[in-house]
Amino acid sequence: MSRPQVVVPAHYRLWAPDVDAVICHRSSLGREQYLVRWKGGRSSAVLSWHFLPDLSHCLHLVQKYVEARRSSSHTSQDASQQRDMTYNRKRKAPHDELQASLLTPSSMSRASSVSSAENVRPLQAHTHSSSGPDIYNGILQRKGGFIYAKRVSSNKVQRVNAVKMPTEAMLQEASNVKTTNADMQIRAKFLRRLDALFGPRVSFVNVNDPTTPSLDFEFIQENEIGEGVEVQPDELIVGCEKCRPDMGQNRGCEYTQKCDCLEFAAVDEARLNDEQRALFEARKKAGVDDTAGLPKRFPYLSTGRHAGCLVNFYLDQRHIIYECNESCNCGPKCKNRNVQHGRQVELEIFKTPHPFFGLRCKQDLLKGQFIDTYVGEVITNAEADRREADSGPGKASYLFTLDKNVGAIALEDCYTIDGEKKSGPTRFMNHSCDPNCGVYTVSYNKFDYKMLTLALFAKEDIPAGAELTFDYMDRDDMEEDETQTADDAYPGAKTKCLCGSERCRGYLWV
């Protein structure tokens, strides 16, 4: 006679914070069923079988398990090649790595199990599995629509050695059971998250395999401020006072030497008269950064089909782009307010032929066109160093240091944006040594040297459907020497670059 199997009605869900991992699966009643290990001490871990409807809040754990099994099905040589096809940058990496490994009996040595106590009535249904046992514990409670595991201490409890779970027989049975429904539910949950994003649609497509970007990743619309990060209050944000909405063909900020927001912008040396040039040269010689009253490089084109596109000067350089803000007198339609209005194009996350995801645009992009920002958790430099140290060598990093104002502030005072766990669609952009996009620093408040925005612009005309890429190595970090070999020029290289471009440097570096 078969033992009772813990099954609960579909309108109940596992309480995700108490679940440790999914460690096996099987077919029961013609449906996929997954073995859950609940969190607990070495001698009191609880295990139970559940159908997918119970696991809607734990799909990220199901995904880790499924991807780990899928990965383990390849040969060790294939697995090694996949590990080699990861990219690294000083503080950025491209793709979404599923950091999970197949749970084997040896990896579960910290767990043990208990079974149902006589004085507790578990929710039951009768099933049978040849790999058995069918039940590890039945002490599951329903409360507030969720399922919780309960430890028991009765001497009459029949104990099962969880160190040996899953057994070889269970693993063998699992190898013959497809995870199709799990893949579909994981994909559907990811798509719902994309649908919740503001602005033009972000879609997802994968015609190569069943994989989906990690559900551990959370889409956010704007930067999230971390502990120790100070944000200037709105009342301290200074805007331009001499500009008006009716300037510049009713688009504001026509005169760059009068616009207060452009005070620290790059000087337009071609427009300097003799008096201004003499003043400019004198200030440079004296080491004074004051450029007030001088004509500046306006960041965006203002007319024609390229209106709003970043000008070549900024595309080719690394100067900070200063935009107007809500405190300005130029009005909300000012032609110097572009990035802050957010993404205006449809994007698509897709699975590349390689074991990672990429990003492309659903429409043609013009040279200089704004694509989207790179957002994440804004953290201190000390926290960024701690996260890098904890991640270990060779692990993908999604950290960008906001260091464009070093000199005005110390490097250790700069903030960092971490997009590993929380970010937007641009987090899926891959590296190329010959990229079609670039990352640029934007400031909405000239006196805030720390809180900067990262924006991606097209560096050339990009046809719809082409993969969007950028160079993970900031040119400010290293001056390239074309006469050196990759090994000589990049002594810190740890990972071979596989971008495939004709201008490939051969290596990426940390």
Kindly list the distances between the CA atom of residue 414 and the CA atoms of 381, 410, 477, in Å, as whole numbers in the listed order.
Answer: 6, 7, 15
Provide the edge-to-edge strand list for the sheet that holds 347-351.
202-205, 347-351, 357-361
> Rounded distance, CA 25 to CA 228, Å?
43
Q: Which among 374, 398, 444, 449 is annotated as catalytic?
A: 374
3-state secondary structure 35-53: EEEECCCCCCCCEEEEEHH
Nearest CA-CA partner of 330 in 320, 340, 344:
340
- The residues, ordered by sequence, that sit 6+ positions from 74 with a Cβ below 8 Å of its Cβ are 82
Indicate if 415 belongs to the active site.
Answer: no
> Rounded distance, CA 22 to CA 64, Å?
8
Question: Phi/psi at 378 (nearest 5 deg)?
Answer: -90, 120
> Rounded distance, CA 269 to CA 349, Å?
41
Q: What is the DSSP-derived secondary structure letter of residue 408?
A: T
Q: Which among 440, 472, 490, 507 is annotated as catalytic?
A: 472
Question: Phi/psi at 5 (nearest 5 deg)?
Answer: -110, 130
Structural contact between residues 348 and 449, judged by C-beta atoms closer than 8 angstroms: no
> Rounded distance, CA 205 to CA 216, Å?
19
Structural contact between residues 378 and 415, judged by C-beta atoms closer than 8 angstroms: yes
The total of other beta-carbon atoms located within 10 Å of residue 476's CB is 10
- How far does CA 131 lie from the centroid of its chain? 39
Structural contact between residues 295 and 275, judged by C-beta atoms closer than 8 angstroms: no
- The residues, ordered by sequence, that sit 6+ positions from 310 with a Cβ below 8 Å of its Cβ are 299, 300, 301, 321, 368, 369, 370, 440, 457
Nearest CA-CA partner of 111 in 145, 147, 162:
162
Indicate if 398 belongs to the active site.
Answer: no
Catalytic residues: 374, 472
